[in-house]
Amino acid sequence: MDGEIRTVGIVGAGQMGGGIAHVAALAGFAVTLYDVTQERAEAGLAKIGANMDRQIASQKISEAEKAEALSRITAVSDPAAFSGLDLVIEAATEDETVKRKIYREICPLLDEKTILATNTSSISITRLAAATDRPERFMGIHFMNPVPVMKLVELVRGIATGDETFEAARTFVTKLDKTVTVSEDFPAFIVNRILLPMINEAIYTLYEGVGSVESIDTAMKLGANHPMGPLQLADFIGLDTCLSIMQVLHDGLADSKYRPCPLLVKYVEAGWLGRKAGRGFYDYRGETPVPTR
């Protein structure tokens, strides 16, 4: 192998995995999209097609580019399909136990040369790497959501990540027409270390009655020029994800400023996880979202 990545495997056909498959296929890479059942893998593929239709509607890509990109993606439910690939990106749920279980299952199926990456938004790369058989060929390639729209990718090296692995990943990301930012391996890296405490603070502002959902979001949109208010953004990210990142920050840095707001915990306990659940800081079940407090 010349160190160049040409074939990419993705573990998890959900929002993030599908998004990564989408941009990689459009950039000309052969993509193997894996999920635990063939139905889930196929559903991920269908979602990619629908998202590409939106890009066609806004004239970002052509019908021909869509057809070509989709022909490069193979949906599978057998991890043996990862054999012989140059890069495998794990985009499973943000849960360390789940990720470790995946590495135990897939590492024996990978070629010695295969680079294994994780799309984790907050978990220690060094610790995850230690759960694999290839810490020097393991690193974090953290895409932002939604992947086809967001320009940034955070590259995170673990303590053992080799230079060759890092350079191959940087080249790969550049070919996707994304901008690289390099972060050290500390809890939540750069974007979420700054963004999530801001969202958590917005929830405290609501919890303490300083402002309503509407006043907080309007204040940050028009007063700080944010494209989306922090509570609306929390709903978009998923309140369970927000809580898990705050917990990683709180546990990893042991600083009380990262304590998750009790109101965030309450919403997650209620199953009001944001847009995907139909309710969060806004209720999405009607025509237009209505604040829930």
Q: Catalytic site residues?
A: 121, 142, 154, 192
Q: Which residue has the tokens 């995946």?
A: 102
Read off the tokens for 63: 């019908």
CA-CA distance, 175 to 178, in Å (whole number)? 7
Strands 87-90 and 179-183: unpaired
Contact between 21 and 72 under an 8 Å Cβ cutoff? The reply is: no
